[in-house]
Amino acid sequence: MTEVLDNIYLNWTEKELPQKERTKHVHGLHPYLGKFVPQIPEIFLKLYFKEGDTILDPFMGSGTTLIEANILNMNSIGIDISKFNCLMVKVKTDKYNIERLKHETSDALSKLEVF
């Protein structure tokens, strides 16, 4: 395993990994101290797990590992002491019906009164 880890490059510069890549998808939805760049769990998930595997993150924080697992078609379970973190991660990882969201949004907007 040490040999494998020796060949993994995790020392990116700002030019190699700009802010827009570090906050891709929903990773920039809210500030969170201690959050790591999504590329780190992505690399290790691809290296040690496969599609359909289940990932447990007992200290999920902002949900970076869970989000990356979902993107890679892996199941994910997260635990955190913070109710706020649990809510934010649920919002970030739930699967949404885009067509229904468009319809509901359009319906709500059509019912607004102009002031």
Whether 58 is in a domain gets the answer: yes
Number of domains in the chain: 1
Residue 115 is assigned to a structural domain of this protein: no
User: pLDDT tens digits, residue range 68-83?
Assistant: 999 999 999 999 999 9
In a domain, 35, yes or no: yes
28-32, 36-40, 43-47, 49-53: range with lowest mean pLDDT = 28-32
Q: For residue 55, what are the β-bridge partners?
A: 76
Q: What is this structure's pTM?
A: 0.74
Task: Give me the pLDDT at residue 22, please.
Answer: 65
How far is C-alpha 67 from the chain's CA centre?
A: 3
Q: Considering the domain boundaries, does residue 17 fall inside one?
A: yes
93 occurs within a structural domain? yes
Residues in the chain, overall count: 115
Q: Mean per-residue pLDDT for 12-37?
A: 71
Residue 43 lies in a domain: yes
Greater confidence (114 vs 45) lies with 45
Please check the confidence at residue 6 and state whether its pLDDT lies above 90. Answer: no
Provide the residue range defining the domain that includes 52. 2-110
φ and ψ at residue 36, rounded to 5 degrees: -105, 165
Confirm whether 23 is domain-assigned.
yes
